[in-house]
Every structure is written in C-alpha cells, then in structure tokens.
Amino acid sequence: WLSEDRGLIGALLAPNQDPVAAAAEIRRFGDHPRVGCVFLPTCCVDPLYGHRSYDPMYDAAQEFGLPVALHSVQALNPVFPFNLQAFETAFSAHVISHAVSMVANAMSMLETGVPVRFPDLKIVFTESGVTWVPWLGMRLDKEYSERRREVPLLTERPSHYLYGMYFATQPIEEPERMRDMALMMEVFGGENSVVFASDWPHHDFDHPDKVLQIPISDDAKRKVMGGNGARLLGLEVPAR
C-alpha cells in the first residue's frame, strides 16, 4: 500500500510486548520514505510506557526521527487503568477508559523522565480528546511542588514536558460553549500541539466542521488542521 499509493503515510506497529524486537522492527523499516511514526497500542499494556524496559524501542525511534503515537482503546482487564468491571454501562466505561489510559501512560513516562532521557523523541497521544491535558498538567505541577525529590530527572515543572507533546483531537469534546475548548487549549498551548484526527468511519469520528467551530484564530486553525501534524511527521507543506 505504501509503495503504490503516494498519498498514504504509514505507522509502524511496534510489538510492545518485546521492546527489543520492537527496536529491531523500527530499525528495519525506520528509513522507509512512507513511514511516519511508530504506533504504540495502549490496550491493557503492562507495564506502562514509562518503564525502562521500553528504552530500546524509544532509542530506535529517536534514532530514526520517528514520533511514537500512543493509541487508546476500551478494554476490560483487572490491571489499572482498564479495571472497568465496576461500571454497569458502556456509557461510563467509554467516558473514562480512553482518557485515563493516556493519563496513566503520560504520568508513567514523566515519572521516569522519558522526555528528558530521549530529548529528541516526539510523543503523541491519540483517540482520547484533549481536555485531560491541562487538568493533568496542573495536578502534576501541584504534586511536583511537594515531591520533586521523587522525580529527580525533571528539572522543569512536569507540565513543561507534557505540554511539549502532541495531542490528537479525536474524539474532540463538544461542550455547549465551544469557546470553553478555546480556553482549555490556551492553557496548554494547544495551538502548537493539537493535531486533527478524524477516526472516520467510527461512530465518534471528528468532523472537520466541528473542530473548526472552536473559536481560535485562523492561523491556529491552520496549525491544528494540518500544520502541527506535518511538523510532527516531518512532512513538507506545499507553499501557497
């Protein structure tokens, strides 16, 4: 597909159960001109992605300049954060599963200093919306003011590293007042880190029109709808 359709950019699926094998897979295909990132599923992943056993995988991704894209799903598993058996409805389980899986893995990566130990590694969180980002940043900064000795690799506030990552829109939150989304994005600098994702044809796909309803500047919309994604994947944007 990637060799025949010049409109496609592929994501390399890393077997996260074996990080050494994942690193070998990245090095095997990392210089393919149509491979744009490394796909990391978060379905019941154990240990979380901050664990140092994943270092060979991150090292290879950084070596080839490939972002790692965490993708959340809903699953039922006795291991946090997928111990969803307490809920009686898919309504509740779906609300929390995607965002919490991202929160858990982001915290894990921060507590072990992944963005410090791999400073050139780009990290993107997909299929979890974006409103959890400022909440997590503020909670982490609060905790950092009291327990920074436990995370000695972090020389800046945790939000500094978190807000330097990327976040896909889908499934974008749809508050009654869309200006609330603009305020949330302003908190974490989403103009430069949010990337449009459709997830079409799933039932909860993001329609471009809905994302474009967020009252941000035209320049910010251009970044969200394409510019940030091109920068994340290292794609050339045609001059207009």
Q: Give the pLDDT confidence score for residue 45 in this predicted structure.
A: 87
Report the predicted TM-score, pTM, of the whole model to 2 decimal places.
Answer: 0.95
Q: Give the pLDDT confidence score for residue 236 in this predicted structure.
A: 85
List C-alpha distances in Å: 33 to 53, 127, 228.
28, 25, 19
Q: Give the pLDDT confidence score for residue 139 in this predicted structure.
A: 97
For residues 58 and 37, give the distance between their C-alpha atoms in angstroms, rounded to a whole number: 12
Tokens 């974490």 belong to residue:
188
Q: What is the mean pLDDT of each run of 10 residues along the chain (240 residues)?
A: 82 93 96 94 90 98 98 78 84 87 95 98 96 97 97 98 97 94 97 96 90 96 96 85
